Structures are given as structure tokens and as C-alpha cells.
Chain A
Amino acid sequence: MSFISTQNRRTLIVVFITLLVVCEMIAYVATTPRPREQFFQLYVLGAKRMAADYYPNNDTDIRLGEPVTWYLGVADNMGTVQLVSIRVKIGNQTIKPPDDQQGLESPAPVVTEFIRFLNDNETWETPFVWSISDAVLSGSATRIPVLQINNETYLIQDCSASNGHNFRLIFELWTWQTETNGFEFGWAAGGEHRVAWLQVWFNMTSPRLA
């Protein structure tokens, strides 16, 4: 190294340290996972797997025993494996929907739920074929006591609507929280509590007489 003068040696040390810092920063960035936005997607599609054709013959009035085909989907973009539950509730016009601001669930009765483990970036879609097995007219209120979903029968308590108008199916996304070891409505991301829910309205104006 005699051909390198003291000044050149200093310059080389400075160059080496600069290059070392730059290369190590690149190594750090390459090996550290980047933070990303964490969220879920929840959707309901119509019979043709599009955001249309939600009702048979495009008639919102559902008849007794008439099958209605939808597709429920949920996508995990949380960066980790998640255990999710889509809770299906039935309500009428007056019942409260879920509260986005407070993160509160709807008080409507739960009909059924679909539970599934989702890998990161995975989208899970399942058919949701439902029909009204029974509807009873008492006074001016139509009550739906039995609902059939995916060939299974569900008994429903206290779900009626005036003249059979404005029933709705509410879909809420619940996620498993490892801190509490239980399902909670919505999820926590970035210090915020977020929720996802959907509702589809329908009418039932041809019930049987009580």
C-alpha cells in the first residue's frame, strides 16, 4: 500500500464507509417487510357472479320457496392468516343496522354464520342460495319464521315487516381476535377499529294467512 498516499488512504476509508452505509441500508430495506395497509373486503354478488341480478326476474318481491342465488365473498389483506366469520342476520326497516362510527353490530337476530380460515391475500367465495320456506300474515305484518339457506333450514324468531315490505339480509364480517380469544365485529388496523357489512333489501308480499 506504499503507492497510496495518506490522503488517498483517507479518501478510500471515507468511500468505503459511505458505500458500507449505503449497501447495509439496501440490505436492511430488502430484508425488512414493508408495512402495508391492512383491510378486509366483503362482497355479495348476484346469480351471475356480478354486482347485478340479485333477485329472480329482477323483482325484489320474493315468493314462497323461490330460490335466490347470491355469492358471498371475503378477501384477507391483513398480511396474516385470519379466522373470519360472516354472520347473516335478518331484519326489517326499523331495526338498527351496524354502526360504522362506533363499530357496533346490528341487533338483528343471527340466522347463520360462515366461518373460514383465510391465508394472506386469499379471497374466499361461497354460494348463498336462500329461500323463504314460510311467511305468515298476521294483521298487517308479515312474519318470516323459516328461512332456508344452502339446503339447511333455519328457524327465525321475531322478524316481521309491515305489509311484507323492506325486509333485509345483513352480512357482518367478524374476525377472530387472539387477544380476547373470540370473534369481534370488524378488525383493528393501524390503531383504528374498522368494520365491514352489507345489506340487501327484499319484499315478501305473498305470505300465507295465519
Chain B
Amino acid sequence: MLQLWHASSRYRYIPCNRDYLNESQLRRIQNELAVVGALVVLALVTVQPLVVMSQTADSLQARFAETIAMVHQAESAGATPSEIGALVALLNKALELNGEALKLTAPDEAQRRAELVAQVDQILMTVENRAADLTALASQRSYANRVLAYVCGVIAAVLGTILYAFTMSFYRKYRIKRTFQMRVTRK
């Protein structure tokens, strides 16, 4: 017999058809629901370690993605290849440790795996911090270099103009001097 139930309140059930349940049937259904609930709780507790492991791997991938983005920001800000190279070396170390952690699948290696994952996390945090510092430093340096270059351009233009003015002045004086040194001769 298929029973469809609507729960309009916590204690009041209205059956969809005209077949009503007696108390013993209700009690049996309650017992069955209690057993199902207990099984669901038990399953969730049992599966929890697997879920945690999966979240760890996912969160690490997300962390790698965040770290790459931060390193790219540092590069865009104008960090030098040697500065970025140090970050890349750390990232490769993190990759290596992550690879080692992924190989540890046996239950007795769980602790070692957790240690490696923690190390990877620590390295990624270090890289993120350094990348953030580099971004700030490199952007300031790039801005200063750009301003310096433009100021040098203005100074060069001023110096060039002064040089031009003096050159023209000397040239005119030379021409005047030469003009007064001219002699008029009869042909």
C-alpha cells in the first residue's frame, strides 16, 4: 500500500487518501524511521574521513591557483626574474611534497601524509606572503622608475633647449664677428 503523507505541522499528519493508519502501524513507521536515521548518521560518521581527504586535495588545488594568481600579480607589478625565481623554487618544492603526499595512500601513512600536506600549506603561505610583499615593492619601484624616466626626459629637453640657445647665440656672435672682419676690396 502506497501512502503519501503531507506534514502540515510537527504532530499532525494528513493522509492523502482515505486509508488511515492505526497506532501500531504509526509506531512501526516511527521505529523504521529511527533506524534509517541512525544508519544515515552512522554512514556520515564513517564517510567523514574520506570527505575530509577530498576537501584537503580540493583546497590545496584552490590554494595553488590562488598562489599562481598572486605570483602573476607580482610579475605584472614588475618583479625581477631573480625575485620570481625564488618563488618558483618554493612552488616546485610544494609540488614535490604534494606529489609525495598523494603517493601515501595506506592508512598507516595518514599521519605522514597530513604532515606533508601541512608543509605544502606552509610553503604556499610563505609564497603568498612573499608575492604580496614583492607586488607592493615592485609596483613602487616600477612607479619610481617610470617617474624618474619621465623627469629625465623633461631635464634632457631643458638641457637640449639651453644647448641649442647657446649654440645659436655663439653662432650669431661668430657670424657678426666674421661680418665685421670683412674687407671691402675693389675688383
Contacts and interface: CB of A to CB of B under 8 A. Distances in A.
Interface of A: 3-4, 8, 11-12, 15-16, 19-20, 22-24, 26-27, 30-31, 80-81, 83, 115-122, 176, 178, 181
Contacts of A117: 88, 91-92, 95
15 contacts: A12-B161, A12-B164, A12-B165, A15-B161, A19-B157, A23-B154, A24-B154, A24-B157, A26-B153, A80-B72, A81-B71, A115-B95, A120-B84, A122-B85, A181-B62
B146 interface: yes
Interface of B: 61-62, 64-65, 68-69, 71-72, 75, 81, 84-85, 87-88, 91-92, 95, 99, 142, 145-146, 149-150, 152-154, 156-158, 160-161, 164-165, 168-169
Given A20-B153, A181-B65, A81 B158 contact: no
Given A116-B95, A119-B81, A120-B84, A81 B150 contact: no
Given A81-B75, A118-B88, A181-B62, A15 B153 contact: no
Interface-central residue, A11, A16, A118, by most chain B CB under 10 Å? A16
Nearest to B66: A181
Contacts of B154: 20, 23-24
A116 B71 CA distance: 15
Contacts of A19: 156-157, 160-161
A27 B157 contact: no
Contacts of B156: 19, 23
Contacts of B88: 81, 117-119, 122
B157 A23 contact: yes
Contacts of B142: 31
Given A81-B75, A118-B88, A176 B68 contact: yes
Contact of B157 (A16, A31, A81, A116): A16
A178 B75 CA distance: 14
Nearest to B99: A115
A81 B68 contact: yes
Contacts of B91: 81, 83, 117
Contacts of B168: 8, 11
Given A12-B161, A119-B84, A24 B68 contact: no
Contact of A178 (B62, B65, B158): B65
A63 B165 CA distance: 85
Contacts of A176: 65, 68
A81 to B, nearest CB: 5
A89 B91 CA distance: 26
Nearest to A4: B165
